[in-house]
Structure 1
Amino acid sequence: MQALYDFLDVDSAVEFWWVMFGLSGQLLFMSRFIVQWIASERVGKSVMPIAFWYFSISGGIVLFCYAVYRQDPVFILGQSMGLIIYLRNLWLIRSERKRDVAG
């Protein structure tokens, strides 16, 4: 286990689990691009599936929490701005769907 701690440059089990948490957020965040790529390939044009925004929010929340733990103001600011944008896009999609159902 010490070799893994050394590789990840962590000093304790708590720090190790925070790094694992941060890495899981990064994997969620990266998954959104795979989802978008597959959806676009299926229809032969660039599309943005709703799952893209859910992966963005999930990964963004985890990365924001990790950034707060690390006390990194640049990382915190970057993730917080992204979360606002992702939530707004989901709100716009929801509003559009409501209009389509009503109209």
Structure 2
Amino acid sequence: MDALLDWLHLVFIARLDGWVVLGFVAQFLFMMRFVVQWIASERVGRSIVPVAFWFFSIGGSSLLLIYSIRQQDPVFIAGQSLGMIIYFRNLWLIFKEKRRDPGI
């Protein structure tokens, strides 16, 4: 039990700095996209993906990318970089469609 408590202290207390706080803020933004999607879907009674989902995706992904570059984590660098391409592309498609049909 002491080993677990020592590990928890090391990971969540001793290593706490501005970069870890940035990582938590980034993760919170990334999580909020699912909260927004869930609330929007519940309101209409079917699964939808609101535009805010993509903005939260970009915000969270951008901060996670900064954090992962600082941490030199190649897995997260690759994942967040590629994901951002998809998020920006989806926003582009949404705005392109709205320009064609402003009634949407």
Structure 1 CA distance for aligned equivalents of residues 46 and 10 of structure 2 = 45
1:101 deviates by 2.8
Shift >4 Å, 4+ stretches: none
- Normalised to the residue count of structure 1, the TM-score between the two structures is 0.86
**2:32 corresponds to which letter in structure 1?**
S
Structure 1 CA distance for aligned equivalents of residues 88 and 11 of structure 2 = 36
Which residue of 1 is the match for residue 90 of structure 2?
A: 89
In structure 2, runs of 5+ residues without a counterpart are 1-8
In structure 1, runs of 5+ residues without a counterpart are none
1:81 deviates by 0.6
Structure 2 CA distance for aligned equivalents of residues 40 and 101 of structure 1 = 22
- Matched pairs, number: 95
1:7 deviates by 4.6
The 5 A counterparts of 1:1-103 are 6-8=10-12, 9-10=14-15, 16-101=17-102
**1:52 corresponds to which letter in structure 2?**
F
- Normalised to the residue count of structure 2, the TM-score between the two structures is 0.85
**1:50 corresponds to which letter in structure 2?**
V
1:6 deviates by 3.5
Structure 2 CA distance for aligned equivalents of residues 101 and 48 of structure 1 = 19
Percent of aligned positions that are identical: 55
